[in-house]
Structure 1
Amino acid sequence: MGDEDVKKFVEEKIKGDKVVLFSKSTCPYCVQAKKLFESLGYTYTAIELDKMPNGPSIQDYLGQKTGARTVPRVFIKGKCIGGASDTKQLHDEGRLLALLE
């Protein structure tokens, strides 16, 4: 998958679903973010980068797009809200549900 294909894949995913997490299946922070959305009753799309042959390329593009390569990269309505701690902080401040509405 070339650079343009990676970009197209990422952009289509984040526009296609309300909540998208670019994740790794063994990452405890990714699990934390998923559990938070599950506890709120929100479905999400998880893209498990460690299970994809082009996962590193996708992670590189996410780094360029969002300024960070760490996972999870959480997108709500096409906008990156950050990682697990950012998502939890928005929830703790009572602002996450407003973003999901």
Structure 2
Amino acid sequence: MGCQCSAFDKNEEIRTSINEPLIDIIKSQFEEYKVLVYSKSDCEDSQKVKNVFRQNNVTFEYFEVDNMSEGPQLMTILQKITSRTNPPFVFIKGKFYGSSKEVSDGFARGELNKANLS
């Protein structure tokens, strides 16, 4: 299942390169993680999308943007990339997929499943 805390706190490589422009860090995360969720710890939809992945036994990585010192800047970049204003921001194989509704609908349609997300 997904990580319980931000990789910014756990991954030495990312921590040491934090001075890079955030967009470069985001791009490297797209390459590193097949399923990536940027969320907020107090966001109900963020909790929903993480639970949908857990219920479907899909491995994913998530970052709680509100718990990161770079959070406000990261939110601005994510909003520009996705044209959405609120989390969660779900990326699958480096492409923006949507939010909790799109993920739930993707599983319901069979578009998303463990086989193509693991």
What is the TM-score when the length of structure 1 is the normalising length? 0.89
Structure of higher CA gyration radius = 2
User: Shift of the alpha carbon at 1:95?
Assistant: 0.8
Secondary structure class of the residue paired with 1:85: helix
Counterpart in 1 of 2:33? 17
What is the TM-score when the length of structure 2 is the normalising length? 0.77
Whole-angstrom CA distance in 2 between matches of 1:83 and 1:56: 19
CA 15–69 in structure 1, closer or farther in 2 if over 3 Å, else same: farther
Deviation string, structure 1 residues 18-75 (Cα, Å, up to 9, x no partner): 1100001111101100011111111111111010011111111011111113101001
Residue among 56, 61, 64 paired with 2:72: 56
In the TM superposition, 1:1-101 aligns within 5 A as 5-97=21-113, 99-100=116-117
Give the letter aligned to residue 69 of structure 2: P
Q: How many residues align?
A: 100
User: Shift of the alpha carbon at 1:100?
Assistant: 2.0
